[in-house]
Amino acid sequence: MHYERYEITKGETSMTYEFVSQGPRGDVPKLVVYSKTRLLGIFNLGFGDKIREGDFDDSVVTNNGDTLKVMATVAVTLYYFTDRFPNAKVFVEGSNKTRTRLYRMAITNNLEVINADFEVYGLKNDAWEAFTAGIDYQAFLVIRKK
pLDDT one-digit tens code per residue, 79-138: 999 999 999 999 999 999 999 999 999 999 999 999 999 999 999 999 999 999 999 999
Q: Which amino acid is at 36?
A: K
Non-local (6+) Cβ contacts of 143 within 8 A are: 88, 89, 90, 118, 119, 120, 121
**pTM recorded for the entire structure:** 0.92
- For residues 27 and 65, what is the distance between their CA atoms, to the nearest angstrom? 12
Tell me the domain boundaries of the chain. 9-144
Q: How does residue 9 score in pLDDT terms, banded at 50, 70 and 90?
A: very high
- DSSP assignment, residue 141? E
Topology given in CATH for the domain delimited by 9-144: Aminopeptidase (3.40.630)
pLDDT one-digit tens code per residue, 13-72: 999 999 999 999 999 999 999 999 999 999 999 999 999 888 898 999 999 999 999 999
Q: Which of 16, 22, 29 is nearest to 69 (CA)?
A: 22
pLDDT one-digit tens code per residue, 72-92: 999 999 999 999 999 999 999
The radius of gyration of the chain from alpha carbons, rounded to an integer in Å, stands at 14
